[in-house]
Amino acid sequence: MSMTSVVLSLLEQSDDCIKVVAVDGSLQFMNCNGKKAMQIDDFATFAGLPWHTLWPAESQLAVQHSVTEANEGRAHRFEAFCPTAKGDPRWWEVTVSPLRNRDGDVSAILSTSRDITARIQREDELRTIAAEMRHRLRNAHTLGAAIAMAASRDAPEHRPFAMRLAERLSRLADVQAHLFDAGEGMTVKSLSDRTFSAFDDGTGRIVCTGGEDVELGEQGTRTLALVLGELATNSAKYGALGRGGEVRVETSVRDDHVEIVWEERFASDAQSPLAAPSSGQGTGLMQRMIALMGGQVQGEARPDGYRATISVSLAKVAQ
């Protein structure tokens, strides 16, 4: 058995869609599982055709680019949509690699395609759920503000309070809507300012002091927003923000970690704070998400306040 036959036999055993493409971009070979995945009954009708022409127009540039990369000796990866030969919708993760001859020249191109349709569908479902949550939360905040304003019509003396409450609910809705749409480009400071705007009553009792600002990726934005929001919520319910005190937040970079210090100080005439739950759902979720980002949360109750230190991997928050 020739070496070529051995190689082709091995390719036939793969669960993925394996193709051999000529350096000119024409399709030369597809393994059995590939033909099954693509619902191709007769490969002869596709053999020799330019590979990129078998893809939809919106995916063809990605395919052509991958062929160019392989011809220049570089492996390349892309994700793109391509229906089967019978029209069933499919998404593919494609890896393209150069095949070299004995002289080291690229003589052909190997393409491995994996069906990722289920993953793409799950991501679409999650985006749909997130959009519905955003819509429902905004409606809930709007309804709460409307109820507060309606209740104040019969009690004019309470109208200033109702207006402040409605404004606070509006800011909270804006914060949550932004976090659902979180993307690249935010920093810890901009995230803190936006998150705390829903808790600040205009007296500047939440202060972000000095320290270093850090660029955040999407996952880092969502995770730190949850953590800071949970700390602010607990403070409003049990601690300084609910009892006339203040909060200071400082960010620094230590080695390969971002450290955020949250420090509450109660007002001098405040009553003893309520005991915050140490294992509530919000606190537990916060700790698990920080752990997934290679970090930890340490909290310490003090006679005059509360201090929490959040440490997360610098590489992780940039994702």
Residue 182 token pair = 């979180």
For 314, phi and psi rounded to 5 degrees? -60, -40
The Cα-based distances of 144 to 140, 151, 166 in angstroms read 6, 11, 7
Q: 27-30 and 246-254 as β-strands: parallel, antiparallel, unpaired?
A: unpaired
What pTM was computed for the model? 0.54
Q: 246-254 and 206-208 as β-strands: parallel, antiparallel, unpaired?
A: parallel
Asked if 206 and 247 touch (Cβ cutoff 8 Å), the reply is yes
The pLDDT assigned to 270 comes to 54
pLDDT band at 109 (very low <50, low <70, confident <90, very high): very high
The Cα-based distances of 175 to 53, 57, 170, 191 in angstroms read 45, 39, 9, 9
Tens digits of residue pLDDT in 255-311: 788 888 888 888 766 555 554 545 455 677 778 878 887 888 888 888 788 888 888
Which letter, b or e, does each residue of 50-67 get, where b requires 16 or more Cβ atoms within 10 Å of its Cβ?
A: bbbebbeeebbebbbebb
The pLDDT assigned to 174 comes to 65
Cβ-based neighbours of 130, under 8 Å, separated by 6 or more = 180
The pLDDT assigned to 237 comes to 75
Upper half-sphere CA count for residue 201 (Cβ side, 13 Å): 16
Residue 282 token pair = 């919000």
For 123, phi and psi rounded to 5 degrees? -65, -40
Tens digits of residue pLDDT in 194-210: 777 767 666 657 887 76
Task: Catalogue the E-assigned strands of 119-228.
Answer: 206-208
**pLDDT surpasses 80 at 60:** yes
Rounded CA-CA distance 288/298 in Å is: 13
Q: What percent of the chain has pLDDT over 90?
A: 27
The pLDDT assigned to 70 comes to 95
